[in-house]
Amino acid sequence: MDAYAANVHPCFIAGRPEQGVGELVVHHPFDGTEVARCAVPGPEQIERAVASAAAVSTTLRTLPAHRRAAALDHVSAGIRERAEELAEIITAENGKPLRWAEAEVDRAVSTFRFAAEEARRFSGELQRLDTDPAATGRLAMIRRVSRGPVLGISPFNFPLNLVAHKVAPALAVGAPIIIKPAPRTPLACLLLGELLAETDLPAGAFSVLPVGNEETQALVKDARLPVVSFTGSGPVGWSILDTVPRKHVVLELGGNAAAVICADYPDLEHAAARIATFGNYQAGQSCIAVQRVIVDRAVADRFVPLLVESVRDLITGDPHDPLVEVGPVVDEAAAARIEEWITEAVDGGATLLTGGKRIGTSIEPTVLSDVDPSAKVWREEVFGPVLVVSVVDGVDAALDAVNDSPYGLQAGVFTRDLQTAFTASSRLDVGGVIIGDVPSYRADQMPYGGVKGSGVGREGLRSAMADLTEERVTVFTGIEL
């Protein structure tokens, strides 16, 4: 990382690298060392980015599909070629263990590849209108067209792949995008800008603006950016929707994902290992990291010790160590908050089964039981390496417990019973139900998003492309079918 930290990395204004009016310093979450500096654009540069996006909107929308797809293929290949460098950058700016950074890079390769594939086949449909005599000779062509330039606001926890999920579908449908990375983690996004700048996309098709909250609020309100796609905290997301109710707003606002262990599930050791891993795999900083573990009483005596043992076996420490599975959270303020929530739960009667200690930005992987349902570790999104165990009687009680949440992103149900699987799919108020595994499973091409406090809209390449476009109907008259 020393070479990467040597220079001030440019922002991208209408597809071109530029230095800014200030600098943003990025620090390593694990030890606080300086990782790199990047340029912060000024008002004139921000205005040029927005004006260029608006000016190029029609051109990009009508750009042949093969050119949009070729640009996306180029980015996918570029990420693959620079995979080792990108993984090191993600670990340095985010603090996630190198093994998970490498997995994120692999996913970003696929995300852009999927977008290129969808760009080539995203067409529309024909509809006969001569089903009534008055419409004889008429045929409707229904296609989806870009709603216009997109403002994409991305979080710190997946600094490459969640940026990819905003950039790739926008460019696939011909929508210019201005991406605003999280201020803690702009570096992977800026490297993505380098790859995009190598394509033949027209000027204004993309900009990367590492700006602060005040500038972001102005971008949200700018009428030239009719679509806002935000991933992050609930209060910020809902305030965006309240601020611009007439814009098309996509929100992914997190959750407190539950995993249900049913009495019929035969391999409790496997379930415990999966939950331990995916409750802690980004130090719990994933919207679908396991947080609540809901166990049927019939198997609780066997399952809970296995879970505690699996959590204790996780390797913690310096995230650059390839053996480490759990690294730090993003900063000391986040670590202190998580520690306070654990203490609050224990003071309220919870049993600390393992973990609970904090050293700087690192939280020991933690398992709690007997937690009051009103405690923050149960009701809110911890966004840290904390698992909360609840024991219930039967499937119905378990599904009710999952739904007893202000969030509804994804849930996992460990069962081999087909009827239980269908019942869970029908009754759970979440955007996705994962049968036989943790709620943390996500394939980047599938629809992804939540209900209730988890947001509105869907990601996943084709789903996001539909979300960023609207139907346009063209009726042909005097056609013999």
Question: What are the catalytic residues?
Answer: 252, 287
Rounded distance between C-alpha atoms, residue 184 and residue 92, angstroms? 11
The answer to whether the Cα torsion of 414, 233, 342, 329 is positive or negative is positive
Rounded distance between C-alpha atoms, residue 460 and residue 414, angstroms? 24
Rounded distance between C-alpha atoms, residue 275 and residue 195, angstroms? 36
Residue 297's φ and ψ, nearest 5 degrees, are: -55, -30
Rounded distance between C-alpha atoms, residue 62 and residue 78, angstroms? 25
Q: In angstroms, how far is the first alpha carbon of the chain from the final one?
A: 64
Answer for the pair 155, 231: CB distance below 8 angstroms, yes or no: yes
Answer for the pair 151, 229: CB distance below 8 angstroms, yes or no: yes
State the Cα angle at 218 between 454 and 249, rounded to 5°: 30
Answer for the pair 367, 355: CB distance below 8 angstroms, yes or no: yes
Question: Which amino acid belongs to residue 82?
Answer: R
Rounded distance between C-alpha atoms, residue 183 and residue 110, angstroms? 25
- Contacts from 134-138 at CB under 8 Å and sequence distance 24+? 137/477, 137/478, 137/479, 137/480, 137/481, 138/475, 138/476, 138/477, 138/479
DSSP letters spanning 66-105: HHHHHHHHHHHHHHHHTHHHHHHHHHHHH---HHHHHHHH
Measure CA 203 to chain center: 27
> Within 10 Å of residue 189's Cβ, how many Cβ atoms?
29
User: 67-89 burial, b for 16+ CB within 10 Å, e for fewer?
Assistant: bbbbbbbbbbebbbebbebbbbb
State the Cα angle at 384 between 257 and 237, rounded to 5°: 65
The answer to whether the Cα torsion of 244, 382, 99, 412 is positive or negative is negative
Question: Which amino acid belongs to residue 110?
Answer: S
Beta bridge partners of 36: 26
